[in-house]
Amino acid sequence: MRVEGLAVVLRPRSQSEACDLGLAMVRAQAASVWRCFAPVFLAVAALALCTVDLRGWLPMLIIFWLKPWLDRTLLFVMSRAVFGQATRWSDLWQARRQVFGGQFLRTLLWRRFSPWRAYTQPVEQLEGQRGGARRKRVSLMLNENRGAATGLQTAFVHAEAVLGYGLVALLWWFAPENRNAGVWDWFFHPGAHEAGELARDLVFSVSYMAVVLFLEPFYVAAGFAMYLNRRVALEAWDIEQEFRRAFA
């Protein structure tokens, strides 16, 4: 890792301030982030929506379950953004084996239930550690940082829920004055309405997907920035950055 090439300013930060650095990183490379993430996400979302006929909640569950895998694309983009590099679809395609493949079981089972997956993802995906070395590394990263990493998860779980409900609430808000109650009733008793159950399930699923498409990059970047901040504390990356800029 060429610390001197980093496009972010490293300095001692609290972990919650490090999350803010992640948000700033997404804004700085917004074009790269959604250019690469949107096609992958929309392809998965389209396939997931095909299952809406089986069970109304199935598309949402599929997206929810695949999030750790979808995050791999985002971390790939962020790992370049941190050096100020833009990422195009062709870059992602060239690295497809490393990004899309590998660690399937861990990604889809173990990491799905980890309360700090965004924070430990760089250890698994970028450092490429395996077995005992990875376990030791992850526990070193988590040492004294479990609270902060869970805080990140808590904040984003709330944000996701609120934005999801908010989008659905907008529908109720913009319904004509005398039809609001009807929209409300449609949410809970879709069978009694002309629009029906399928339309309701589609509305819920698409709202959820829109929220994930918007929010997931911020979540992954915040976790990545926390990881960088941990390395500032453990390995004095901020000092290496200053030294290399000044003396090398």
Partner 1 sequence: MNAPHTAAPQRIDTLALAETPEGIVLSLQPAGLVARTLAFLLDLLIRLAINLVVLMVLSALGRLGGGLALIAFFCVEWLYPIVFELTRGGATPGKGVMGLRVVMDTGLPITPAGSFIRNLLRVADFLPFGYAFGIVTMLLNREFKRLGDLAAGTLVVHAKQVVLHDAPPDAASIAPARALSLSERAAIRAWAGRARRLTPARFEELAQIAAPVLPPVQPGDPKRSTAERLLGVAQWLMGSRG
> Which residues form the interface with partner 1 (CB under 8 A)?
4-9, 12-14, 16-17, 19-21, 23-25, 27-28, 84, 151-152, 154-156, 158-159, 161-163, 165-166, 169-170, 173, 215, 218, 222, 232-233, 235-236, 238-240, 242-248
- State which residue, 54 or 248, has the beta carbon closest to partner 1: 248
| Closest approach of partner 1 to the CB of residue 237, in Å | 10
| Closest approach of partner 1 to the CB of residue 161, in Å | 8
Residue 69 near residue 108 (C-beta atoms within 8 A): yes
- State which residue, 130 or 245, has the beta carbon closest to partner 1: 245
- State which residue, 53 or 235, has the beta carbon closest to partner 1: 235
- State which residue, 203 or 233, has the beta carbon closest to partner 1: 233
| Closest approach of partner 1 to the CB of residue 239, in Å | 5
Residue 200 near residue 187 (C-beta atoms within 8 A): yes
Contacts of 151 (CB under 8 A, 6+ apart): 15, 16
φ, ψ dihedrals at 148, nearest 5° = -65, -40
| Closest approach of partner 1 to the CB of residue 11, in Å | 8
| Closest approach of partner 1 to the CB of residue 156, in Å | 8
- State which residue, 159 or 203, has the beta carbon closest to partner 1: 159
Residue 115 near residue 149 (C-beta atoms within 8 A): yes
Rounded to whole angstroms, how far apart are CA atoms 80 and 31?
Answer: 13
Rounded to whole angstroms, how far apart are CA atoms 243 and 76?
Answer: 27
- State which residue, 102 or 147, has the beta carbon closest to partner 1: 147
- State which residue, 52 or 60, has the beta carbon closest to partner 1: 60
| Closest approach of partner 1 to the CB of residue 52, in Å | 24
Residue 220 near residue 126 (C-beta atoms within 8 A): no
| Closest approach of partner 1 to the CB of residue 22, in Å | 9
φ, ψ dihedrals at 126, nearest 5° = -95, -40
CB atoms under 10 Å from CB of 112, counted, come to 15
Rounded to whole angstroms, how far apart are CA atoms 34 and 222?
Answer: 16
φ, ψ dihedrals at 86, nearest 5° = -80, 155
Residue 49 near residue 202 (C-beta atoms within 8 A): yes
